[in-house]
Amino acid sequence: MTEEPLLCAQGLTRDYGPHRAVADIDMSVAAGEVLGLLGANGAGKTTILRMLAGTLAPSAGHVSIAGHDLDRAARRAKQHLGYLPERVPVYPELTVDEYLAFAARLHGIPRAERRDAIARAVAETGLAPVRRRLIGHLSKGYAQRAGIAQAIVHRPDVLILDEPTAGLDPHQLAGVRLLIQQLAERHVVILSSHMLSEIQAVATRVMIVAGGRLVLDRPLARMADDDDWFEAGFANDPGETALRALPDIAAVSAIGPGHWQLRSTPGRDIRIALAETAAQQGWQLHTLTRRQTTLEQRFMALTQAKTQAEAPR
């Protein structure tokens, strides 16, 4: 059975005067997913996340969270939502505990439940060693954790994190990355980054945005699903004519003696049929691999193509 999405967005668009910053974004995110929103600086990631979080009204489109419309039932929707903006909303003159108590009140947690809610958020984000220190005296890594703690203190279903690892040193980055992986066990997580390594480390699904438009939406494990190129090596070279005659072969090019690059018709996996034919014909197939496009290669190809095309206006 397919999980019901906890966050849905349809037709999200944002205009700034005559400039269309984000155009017609659709998405749905279900329990168990970690969605990585990837794009170059200025691609529209923060604008999208602000619309999802309800801090920026879309020019068109709508968002629902846990079945509640973010426009018509904002209070109910935001009870299920935690948000960490790009600039962490911490107060340097408060201790971590004071800051989380303030956040708990803002989220409407009853007074009798606040102590336990704060203790849980502190434990989940590893803030226990610094909970009574002023936030202004914390390292950037701990300050980032405090920002994440305020986003989860009310136990939301959906957690939105805008560039959560930006500006961290390698040790802090590793710690926050592990924290996000742990949070993903209890929350739907949507995070943005312009760093491919961070998305690859934690996301189960990737959306790439370029020029304010969605250009890819795919599970990370299926990033190579539409790679139609295969490499094959034969001890007894069948030759180009024989390979072109095979079903679902769209193109053939030689790499070296007995070594060929084959492109299948779109969406077709030729490996089983080719192996069977090679065995029947005595070609002695010894190598057969599908060319894997990495996330970086796909990102570069999609964003460069979008940069060269006219951006939405």
Q: State pLDDT tens for residues 283-306.
A: 999 999 987 777 887 888 788 755
Q: What is the pLDDT of residue 310?
A: 47
Q: What is the CATH number of the domain that holds 277?
A: 3.30.70
pLDDT category, 205, cuts 50, 70, 90? very high
Pull the structure tokens for residue 105: 């009140």
Q: Specify whether the CB–CB gap between 152 and 82 falls below 8 A.
A: yes
The last residue of one of the domains, among 206, 222, 238, is 222
Q: Do 268 and 132 belong together in one domain?
A: no
Pull the structure tokens for residue 43: 């691609």
Question: Residue written as tokens 């109910």?
Answer: 76
Q: Do 214 and 232 belong together in one domain?
A: no
pLDDT category, 1, cuts 50, 70, 90? very low
Q: What is the pLDDT of residue 313?
A: 41
Q: Do 47 and 133 belong together in one domain?
A: yes
Question: Could you list the residue range(s) of the whole structural domain that residue 262 is in?
Answer: 228-292
Q: Do 247 and 212 belong together in one domain?
A: no
Q: Choose the weakest-confidence range: 114-123, 199-208, 255-264, 289-298.
A: 289-298
Measured CA to CA, the distance from residue 284 to residue 196 in angstroms comes to 40
Sign of CA dihedral 12, 190, 221, 213: positive
pTM of the model: 0.80
**Residues 11-42 pLDDT 10s:** 999 999 999 999 999 999 999 899 999 998 89
Measured CA to CA, the distance from residue 243 to residue 72 in angstroms comes to 60
Q: Do 240 and 218 belong together in one domain?
A: no
Q: Which helix (H) or strand (E) holds 237?
A: none
Using left for φ > 0, alpha for ψ between -120 and 50, and beta otherwise, residue 194 falls in: alpha
Q: Are strands 205-210 and 285-290 parallel, antiparallel or unpaired?
A: unpaired
Rg of the chain taking only CA atoms, in angstroms: 24
Q: Do 206 and 285 belong together in one domain?
A: no
Share of the chain above pLDDT 70, in %: 95
Angle at CA of residue 139, ends 180 and 87, nearest 5°: 65
**Would residue 246 count as lying in a domain?**
yes
- Decide: residue 250, CB within 10 A, 0-12 exposed, 13-18 middle, 19+ buried: middle
Q: What is the pLDDT of residue 146?
A: 96
Q: Do 182 and 92 belong together in one domain?
A: yes
**Would residue 311 count as lying in a domain?**
no
Q: How many domains are there within the chain?
A: 2
**Would residue 297 count as lying in a domain?**
no
Q: What is the CATH number of the domain that holds 197?
A: 3.40.50.300
